[in-house]
Chain A
Amino acid sequence: MSEQITKPVLQLRQINKNFPGVKALQQAQLSLYAGEVHALLGENGAGKSTLVKVMTGVLQKDSGELLLDSTALSFATPKDAQQAGISTVYQEVNLLPNLSVAHNLFLGSEPKRFGLIDKKAMANQARQLLSSFGLAIDVTAPLSEFSVAVQQLVAIARGIAPKRGAACTKVLVLDEPTASLDADEVQTLFQVLRQLKQQGVAIVFITHFLDQVYQVSDRITVMRNGCFIGEYQTAHLNKAELIAAMLGKELCQQRHQAPCLAVEHSEAILTARQLNSGQSVQQLDLDLPQGQAVGLAGLLGSGRTEICRLLFGLDQADGGTLSFAGKPIKLSNPAQAIALGIALCPEDRKTQGMIAPLSIRENISLALQAKQGWWRVLSKKKQQQLADFYIEKLQIATPDADKPIGQLSGGNQQKVILARWLAVEPQLLLLDEPTRGIDIGAHAEILQLIRQLCQQGMSLLVTSSELEELTAFSSKVVVMRDRKKVAELSGEDLNPDRIMAAIAGASV
């Protein structure tokens, strides 16, 4: 971006978007200039995807302004956005495996002859388009014949392919385009991005690989919890500042509360040595002491969630040892973990945790029922007692236990899921991002609950992107980077700045 063109090609202003129980976007904004690569960054749930969906017509904004070339527009469907010149390549390859590569590129705007699709011309145009990507493949073969990386490049090529009746591509949105590419393929992609930049396309680049941000982007917009945090020149923002912006420094009121049970010595309930799991976790040593909460910090993709999955038996270790309460164990499925007294409250409660149409009572009794075996049915009375107990204890805001969980607010949903696992009285509770997407009040309550559980002797492993929060309850914090443990902080060292430094690593 040598000199700035004065007017942005696309501008989003004060965008609000609510889902039931969640404020997905609050006053979000984004400005794109022609010929720039603009990184849109934030942790999971920060609202990046929602913002992109609003600007590509998949979702409708509740309020706010979308200006394309200074004209206010509103897109009802993805097609409208495409017609206006905004193309999107989604995280998963959203193409059609059964159609040929050429057809995937031109579906909906196929070259025609005598009113019929001219397959020969289509193949020729496809070859031409892909040659600029350095791809020389058989464009008449079905897309399913090719690797994910090739499919990803085809998806991007489709994004910039000329479309029938549409303006030429002005904005290209790439949502995690490099997630499934190897290093060489990433470089090919960046080559293409630079080429497109010169042609004056504005590129939105969403990724969680920060190195790639510095390699290719000109400017950065950071989002957190559905809000706009800041817009920066990439060259003027170092990695530590970027991470600080992404993770935030809120919740100061939690900061000065002492972590439970400080660092007094206690037996380890779970010990991992040299634990390995394919590409996702490498050489992990971990001790989880009895009756303490251990924090797990790191950026998205650093291996946090993978550790939780591993310790719950969802993923299998392919090396290293694991022992629980002093005995060596092997976990090959969650049922074994549950039997030992390990519970996992997963990261994404919408898709992995709650069963939206079922009542609070049913959602709470689910795990206990599963543990008991389906032949010993929990009576409705027992379920009701259980539900009432936790509604009272966790202060779940609901008129009664029969309300479907889908109708509760995010914070209350999270409490119900927590109650589900507390009901099985685990010895070790793994909490993956327990406070994401919930309001500040519920947030404090959940932190309070974590402390209480420790006092009752339960051990916890809690992942969170919010560093202040981690320091508020953890006796120690394990920091992950690139799938490896890079630091273990406790006592004096346990503060957000040190954690952030460890996350950012040597490149600070």
Chain B
Amino acid sequence: MSRTYLPLWITFALVLLMFGAGASQFDGFASLRVVTNLISDNAFLLVTALGMTLVILSGGIDLSVGSVIALSGVAAALLIGPYQWHPLLAFALILPCAALFGAGMGALIQYYQLQPFIVTLAGMFLARGVATLLSEESVAIEHPFYDAVAEFGLELPDGGWLGATSLLTIALVLLMLVLTHYSRFGSYVYALGGNSQSAQLMGVPVARTTILLYASSSMLAAMAGIIFSFYTYSGYALSAVGVELDAIAAVVIGGTLLTGGSGFIIGTVLGVLLMGLIQTYINFDGSLSSWWSKIVIGGLLFFFIALQKLLSKQWQSKAGGKA
């Protein structure tokens, strides 16, 4: 019991520690404003990481998400700008297309028994290439809908402000929480990560689950791209480079096993918050180079990977005694 939750508690403690450190050193750090900014600044990363959590839980990986963010941003900007579509209509086209793209990758992984790493790497190049083909330049978005959304939000005391995208992100977190931990689909994802052969023998629809899994990841990445476009008011083919790696880092720091089968959505939320807090701390300090956040995240990753290895070793020595 404690072993399952241990990485989660460590991440939670680190979040508190980081927040405490910031609050004790800087005026105004311990405010709702900082917290809500943390959410809105990292909304697109968090949404991406939610999909990544599912994929990693199943024992896979999705390297294409950063490119899918860029592609969906460019596509939205182009449809809304030059093609004069209503944003909602554009989203209604982009999200299913992204799901289809992910389903395609899932089908390749499932039916050709290919490595998720290589399939999604191909997806990464493909999506980035298509995005650049659509427009090499950054495409600005100007639409009354975007202005309206920017103004919509929840006013909180202490300078806090939960914008529409933050609210959407929170809703998505709740949805994924239920889907992962309380739905049959979620159980199947864990089953795949535990042992896909056993899962097959136990009657888990492995093909359907795998395909749905990668479809969800791509669709969430496209959603992140849309959220990102609300943040930047533009779509740019070279944006969100390397976000897939940030997402993987957040998932791992959140305590999800890279080998699959163990982890929690809430851990990923904590992982993203921790990474965001490190950045916020550096911003408040002002004298530190922002690359320090990369160094700290690197250190944290090493720590969590070592922890995973340690825990899974204990796991094996306990289970494999007689087999």
Q: Which residues of A contact B (CB under 8 A)?
A: 58, 77-79, 82, 88, 90, 92-99, 103, 107-108, 110, 116-117, 119, 140-142, 144-145, 147-149, 151, 158, 163, 180
Question: A78-B200, A96-B195, A148-B321 provided; 19 other pairs, C-beta below 8 A?
Answer: A78-B201, A82-B203, A90-B201, A94-B195, A94-B197, A96-B190, A96-B191, A107-B187, A107-B188, A107-B203, A108-B187, A110-B184, A116-B182, A117-B187, A140-B1, A144-B318, A144-B319, A148-B322, A180-B322
Query: Known contacts A110-B184, A110-B187, A117-B184: does B202 contact A144 (CB below 8 Å)?
Result: no
For A107, list chain B residues within 8 Å (CB).
Answer: 187-188, 191, 202-204
For A93, list chain B residues within 8 Å (CB).
Answer: 323
Bound CA–CA A140/B1 (angstroms) = 9
Do residues B193 and A97 form an inter-chain contact, with CB atoms below 8 A? no
Bound CA–CA A149/B321 (angstroms) = 11
B76 → A minimal CB distance (Å): 32
A233 → B minimal CB distance (Å): 32
Nearest residue (CB) in B for A77 is: B203
Bound CA–CA A393/B262 (angstroms) = 56
- Select one of A82, A99, A108, A158 contacting B190, CB under 8 A: A99
Query: Known contacts A116-B178, A145-B318: does B183 contact A94 (CB below 8 Å)?
Result: no
Do residues B203 and A108 form an inter-chain contact, with CB atoms below 8 A? yes
Q: How does the 8 Å CB contact mask read for B23-64 relative to A, with 1 for contact and 0 for none?
A: 000000000000000000000000000000000000000000
Q: Which residues of B contact A (CB under 8 A)?
A: 1, 4, 178, 182-184, 187-188, 190-191, 193-195, 197-205, 261-262, 315, 318-319, 321-323
Do residues B184 and A78 form an inter-chain contact, with CB atoms below 8 A? no
Nearest residue (CB) in A for B259 is: A98
For B4, list chain A residues within 8 Å (CB).
Answer: 142
Bound CA–CA A116/B175 (angstroms) = 12
Bound CA–CA A119/B184 (angstroms) = 12
For B183, list chain A residues within 8 Å (CB).
Answer: 116-117
Do residues A95 and B202 form an inter-chain contact, with CB atoms below 8 A? yes
For B193, list chain A residues within 8 Å (CB).
Answer: 98
Bound CA–CA A180/B323 (angstroms) = 7
Do residues B323 and A92 form an inter-chain contact, with CB atoms below 8 A? yes
Bound CA–CA A157/B187 (angstroms) = 19
B55 → A minimal CB distance (Å): 16
Do residues B187 and A147 form an inter-chain contact, with CB atoms below 8 A? no
Do residues A97 and B194 form an inter-chain contact, with CB atoms below 8 A? yes
Query: Known contacts A98-B262, A99-B194, A116-B182: does B322 contact A147 (CB below 8 Å)?
Result: yes
16 sampled A-B residue pairs with Cβ under 8 A: A90-B201, A94-B201, A95-B202, A96-B190, A96-B194, A97-B315, A97-B319, A98-B194, A107-B203, A107-B204, A108-B184, A108-B202, A144-B315, A144-B319, A145-B318, A148-B319
For A145, list chain B residues within 8 Å (CB).
Answer: 318-319
Nearest residue (CB) in B for A113 is: B182
Bound CA–CA A96/B196 (angstroms) = 9
Do residues A79 and B1 form an inter-chain contact, with CB atoms below 8 A? no
For B318, list chain A residues within 8 Å (CB).
Answer: 144-145
CB-based closest 5 A-B pairs: A96-B194, A98-B261, A98-B194, A116-B182, A79-B203
Bound CA–CA A151/B318 (angstroms) = 12
Do residues B1 and A148 form an inter-chain contact, with CB atoms below 8 A? no
Query: Known contacts A97-B195, A103-B187: does B203 contact A78 (CB below 8 Å)?
Result: yes
Bound CA–CA A92/B195 (angstroms) = 13
Do residues B191 and A99 form an inter-chain contact, with CB atoms below 8 A? yes
Bound CA–CA A97/B322 (angstroms) = 14
Nearest residue (CB) in B for A112 is: B184
Bound CA–CA A142/B195 (angstroms) = 14
Nearest residue (CB) in A for B181 is: A117
